[in-house]
Amino acid sequence: MKGKNQCQWLVLSSTELCERSCIGDYCKIHLARLRKGTGTKPCLICGKGVVNKFSLCRAHGYENEKVKAWQQKKTAFNGEYRRLAMIDIF
């Protein structure tokens, strides 16, 4: 028996929702995906569905944010490496 609600899953790279009917908020397929992990989130600027920790699509700076995060981790690692290298072990 199909429900009367429409699945609230945001389609990847689109601003549209899933068109399947459901009983709750999500259809059977998307409920299974949510049990395994997270779902799609809207891009902070355009609202397209994305799956990344920055919530940005490629058109609105995902690559730049990814590089910034990598550089911050690299800088922190190099600083910690220099700090540990200064320790004298007797």
The structure's pTM equals 0.74
Residue 32 lies in a domain: yes
Residue 56 lies in a domain: yes
Residue 62 lies in a domain: yes
Q: What is the pLDDT of residues 43-55, one digit of tens each?
A: 999 999 999 999 9
Q: How confident is the model at residue 88 (pLDDT cuts 50, 70, 90)?
A: confident
DSSP-derived letter for residue 58 is G
Long-range CB contacts (< 8 A, 24+ apart) of 14-23?
Answer: 14/48, 14/49, 15/42, 15/46, 15/47, 15/48, 15/49
- How confident is the model over 38-64, as a mean pLDDT? 95
Residue 90 lies in a domain: no
Q: How confident is the model at residue 90 (pLDDT cuts 50, 70, 90)?
A: confident
Residues across the chain = 90
Range of the structural domain that residue 58 is part of: 5-85
Strands (E), 36-88: 41-42, 49-50
- The residue among 46, 84, 83 whose CA lies nearest residue 62 is 46
Domain count, the chain: 1
